[in-house]
Amino acid sequence: MNRVIVIVGPTASGKTNLSIELAKKLNGEIISADSMQIYKHMDIGTAKPTTDEMQGIKHYLIDEVLPNEEFNVVKFKELAEKYIEEIIAKGKLPIIVGGTGLYISSLIDNINFSESQCDWELREKLKKEAEEFGAEYLHDKLKQVDEEAAKNIHPNNVKRVIRALEVYYQTQKPISYHNEMSKRVPPKYKFMLIGLTMDRQYLYERINKRVDIMLKNGLVEEVKALVDNGFSESITAMQGIGYKEILAYLEGKNSLEEAVEIIKRDSRRYAKRQLTWFRRIKDIKWFNIDDYGNNHNIIEDVSNYICTN
């Protein structure tokens, strides 16, 4: 069975740098599992690696679609598996890297999405209900038909709540049932899961610093350019952390200082949710950044772990 390396962790934990160094060392290529880096023209606010930072390592699922194009976990899984096969066919090592927990779980748990298709009319109806009655109302609906999914999906994650309801209404079975059935199918690959963690306060400092760097690198100008190119606030991509806050600033709803503080706060909260998600995955080998004096040491330890297991 072919091996696939999976590197996970919260935002700003150093996943990108580690994955590139490992790819250089182990003859690998990288598949992004980041739900925002998939979009073209959204570089600064997504902390997308630059061409220089990639150091000649081929990356997949970055700049795949325009911000107003539909992209979801079903498409991610389909494309990720296609690219895994392409990388293996070259005799190289596939390295999945990213912080979008649902994307990672779709691969390692081999979740099968084929039983239900997108029902755009139903989605629109549920979306309007959320706008009219609030996110909690929709989440309560999910709780009534799929208590397990409701426990695992935050009420504010309206997109995932809608998807779970859509699956139930189409199949008369909860999404948690489909996920459980999928897990019983043997995986196609031997996934080796690497997790990065660190002291919570240090992580939050890194997140705050990263946001400051985004502003310095032109995040406001990036959002302005997106608006000028017709990408409105109603599209999913523009609701990402860093984009919706700057949009609010550009519309005069808050000051730039307020927008920056909200981005930092929501990024820290997102990191906390990411850690909660990944800590539920039992097979992850965790590496604590605090234990390493420099980046070289962690690269050695992670590559040794991969090569000896």
Q: Binding site for substrate, residues? A: 11-16
Annotated binding site for ATP: 9-16
Cβ atoms within 10 Å, residue 235 = 17
- Look at the block and give the residue holding tokens 């309007």: 128
Contacting residues for 262 by C-beta, under 8 A, at least 6 apart: 245, 254
Q: Please tell me the distance from the alpha carbon of residue 125 to that of residue 121, in angstroms, as a whole number.
A: 6
Q: Please tell me the distance from the alpha carbon of residue 75 to that of residue 83, in angstroms, as a whole number.
A: 12
Q: Please tell me the distance from the alpha carbon of residue 201 to that of residue 199, in angstroms, as a whole number.
A: 6
Angle at 210 between CA 208 and CA 215, to 5 degrees: 100
Q: Please tell me the distance from the alpha carbon of residue 281 to that of residue 279, in angstroms, as a whole number.
A: 5
DSSP conformational letter for 126: H
Annotated binding site: 9-16
Angle at 63 between CA 61 and CA 68, to 5 degrees: 110
Q: Please tell me the distance from the alpha carbon of residue 223 to that of residue 226, in angstroms, as a whole number.
A: 5
Detail the DSSP E strand segments found in 92-145: 93-97
User: Looking at the DSSP assignment, which residues form a beta bridge with residue 30?
Assistant: 59, 95
Q: Please tell me the distance from the alpha carbon of residue 34 to that of residue 30, in angstroms, as a whole number.
A: 12
Q: Which of 92, 273, 269, 274 is nearest to 195 (CA)?
A: 274
